[in-house]
Every structure is written in structure tokens, then in C-alpha cells.
Amino acid sequence: MERILKLKTVCMMRTACALLVGLAGVGAGAAPASAETRSFVVSWFSQATYSNDHDCSGGVHPVIEEIYLRYAQRLGVSPEKIELWRKEFATGEDDRELQEFVGMRGRIDGQPVNPFSNPASVIDLHMPGLDGKYAYGFNLDGKGTDDPNAFEDPETHERGVEHQLYRALGCARAFRGSLEGRPTYWAWAWGQLKESQPAWLITITGQNLNQDGPVSIALERALEHLRSNSDGSPRQDMAYRIDPDPRSRNVFRGEIKGGVVTVSQHGDLRLLQNPLVAPELDLKNFHLRLKLNPDGLSKGFMGGYQPWHAIYFGFAGVGLGGEQQVMGDIPGSYYLMKRYADADPDPKTGQNMRISVTYYIEAVNAFVAPAAALKDRQTANR
């Protein structure tokens, strides 16, 4: 039965396959003459979290209201006023004064400034990071397998896993969750963007994808956004055109083993994302593991080192309203990421400019073809 399915898949993929083979400049050289190709569109993207009861010995961060009052206290607001503001929170009264205060809680030369665009001007509350044992991810630098403080992946049990973004944000409420029970921030961001953000496409090419062997993995961006069913679930078998923009064309050598695809030649992943949250996903030392599922959701992880300032300014874009409704203390995340960043030191200051991160992705089957090739075909047919 699998055989029949595969033959049908090949048969239906033929059009897309033929077009894909016509891709110029791919050059990975991993696609043999009679190749099997399967394509997917990413249907979920968020940081991979494994929150549990033993991962924040310093405590899960308090609610944003409480954090605001800490800022107030540190910035010299009188205790009476702080109590007044605490009551206003509880009763939901008009708290305009408090809002103005927190909305300008940065200080430069004693003057209040916007805290989101000037995070270094905000007091560092030294919120605790995560210190649990488990985190999804990869041993990016090949070191630390014997380090007792290093993460262990709860699925593969790989030791020495690097996921410093998880250390940084894992105790903040909006960033806690599991693969199924999704963290607030990431669920919100995805929901905001999936109907407009051009989708990401993954194409696996190999001799026979039902057997172990080498593969070529292409990660690209589509021209259109992800398509969903009427109940919001991702729609299988839609067709996406590959954006020719070279800023989002990536090919990696990898292998498939037991139905799981991994990257073996770790390079740089660059994918344009969206200007509202993060303009670009830039992962150095790119790692991937993706379990292919012919009938439903393929699930997996992407890891690497990402510039943390970019992550920060993606967060900062939501501003005061987003801080209160979705994210929690935004400038606080700046300090946490700064503290835990672990790669790419700045030559002058020594501050690490990249932070290790693991993202959890899901993907559904898709037809893909380069937009350019389609245009030619369509013009030819007219």
C-alpha cells in the first residue's frame, strides 16, 4: 500500500519535479538522476519549549503589573503611590498616570525615554533565567556533553545542547509552554501573521525517501502565505510558488534515516520573515531534524545561532499594549538575552551578538515550483 502511495505521489509530483530539476544554480549536487522529491510548507513556527515545574528555581516571572511596580519602586516612586497603583490594577480603574510612567520608563540623563527603542536605558531588574535540565535542540558547538549544567534534549537525549534563548526567556510567562500547549507569545505572533506572511517551503530530494540515504534539503520562501482550512488547520496539498529572491534560497546537504531528515552540512540559513515581527530569520550553524509524515503533519526542530538584537526588536515592535496583553516585560527580555548570548563576540566589547536557539516547526504536504519557471510556462501557453 505504501508502494502505491509512493507511486501516486511521484506521479502527481511529476510536474513539480520536472520544474524543480530545472532550478538553476542550486549546485548542491546531492540530487541524483532519478530523484524523489517531497515538498512541504511550514504550518507552525515557534520556539521549542519544554516548560515544567522544575525549570525555574528563581521562580517564574511575576505578572507584568507586578513588574511595573518593581520598576516604580526602583525609580523612586513613593510607596503610597505604588499602593495606589496596585489598587488601580486590582479594580481596573483608570490608571493613566501609571501607563504614562511605564510607557516612558527608560532614563537618559535623567529624562524619561521610550523603553522599547532604548532598552539599555531601562533599569535591569535582573530577572532570573531558566535552569532546568531539559531543552529541545542540538549540540551546536560539539562541546559540553559532559557538562552537568548543559541541556539534554528530552527527545533525542543528546547532551550538551545549546539553547540559550530558552535559558533567557524560559521563565517569562508569555514564553512558557510545550510543543502542544503553545507559549502565548508565539501562538499570538503566528496567528497574527500566518494569513499574510509569505510561507516557508521545505523540499527534500533523495534517491528514495522511504529508505535511509543522503538527501538535499532546500529551504525557501513562497510568494503566497500559508493556506488554511475553514477550521484554521493547515491545508494539505496546496501549490506554492518559490520566491526567486536570492535572500531566501538555501540548500543543505543532509541525510534521511528512519524517516527523519537531518542536515549534515551545517551552513547559514537566511529566510525573509515579516516586517511586523522579525524581518529575517538568520541562523548560523544551521541544524535541522524533521520527521516526515506522508499523511499528516511533519514535525521537527530547527536550531542555530541567531542575532539576538534582531529578536529583541521583533519583540519591541508590539509596544506598550503588546507588553501588557501578550509578552510581558520587553526591555527585561533585552537584558536576559544579553546575559545568555553565547556566540559571535563583538570584537570591541566582547559581548556575544548571537544566541543559540531551537525552533519547533510543523509542516504539511505541498506542491512547489519556482515562480520564474511557471511564468515562462504560462507565457508559452498563451
Nearer to other proteins, 111 or 381 (CB): 381
**Minimum distance from residue 199 beta carbon to other proteins (Å):** 9
Instruction: Decide: helix, strand or coil at residue 150.
Output: coil
Q: How far is the CB of 68 from other proteins (least distance, A)?
A: 38
Helix residue ranges, H only, the chain: 2-21, 64-74, 79-91, 96-103, 164-169, 184-193, 308-316, 319-322, 330-340, 371-381
The residue whose grid cell reads 519556482 is 370
Handedness of CA 96, 97, 102, 108 (dihedral sign): positive
**Smallest distance from other proteins to CB 273, Å:** 14
104 vs 372, beta carbon nearer other proteins? 372
- Residue 338 CB: number of other CB atoms within 10 A? 19
Closest to other proteins by CB, 21 or 63: 21
In terms of Cα–Cα distance, which of 185, 176, 168, 189 is closest to 332? Answer: 168
Burial tier of 349 (Cβ tally within 10 Å: 0-12, 13-18, 19+): exposed
Least spacing, CB of residue 38 vs other proteins, in Å: 13
Give the C-alpha separation, 360 to 48, whole Å. 5
C-beta closer to other proteins: residue 78 or 233 = 233
Q: State in angstroms the smallest separation of the CB of 120 from other proteins.
A: 37
Query: Considering the complex, what minimum distance in angstroms separates the CB of residue 230 from other proteins?
Result: 4
d(CA 23, CA 35): 14
Rg (the chain; Cα; Å): 23
Residue with cell 509542516: 363
**C-alpha 62: how far from chain center:** 24
Task: Name the site residues for other proteins (rule: CB under 8 A).
Answer: 1, 4-5, 8, 11-12, 14-16, 196, 198, 223-225, 227, 229-231, 233, 235-241, 367, 369, 374, 378
Min. distance of Cβ 258 from other proteins in angstroms? 22
As a dihedral over the C-alpha atoms of residue 312, residue 315, residue 318, residue 323, rounded to 10 degrees, the angle is -100
Strands 343-345 and 352-370: antiparallel
Task: Kindly tell me which of 269 and 369 has the beta carbon lying closer to other proteins.
Answer: 369
Q: Please, which residue, 102 or 369, has the CB nearer to other proteins? A: 369
First to last CA, the chain: 40
Residue closer to other proteins (CB basis): 80 or 231: 231
Q: Which is nearer to other proteins, 65 or 224 (CB)?
A: 224
In the complex, what is the shortest distance from the CB of residue 234 to other proteins, in angstroms, rounded to a whole number? 9
Separation of alpha carbons 106 and 104, rounded Å: 6
CA distance 114 to 117: 6
CA dihedral over 121, 353, 142, 255, signed as positive or negative:
positive
Looking at the Cβ atoms of 176 and 227, the one nearer to other proteins is 227
Least distance to other proteins from the beta carbon of 226, Å? Answer: 11
Neighbours of 257 (CB within 10 A): 13
Strand ranges inside 91-229, DSSP E: 106-108, 111-113, 151-152, 159-161, 198-206, 213-225
Q: Which is nearer to other proteins, 126 or 377 (CB)?
A: 377
CB 15 → other proteins: shortest distance, Å? Answer: 6
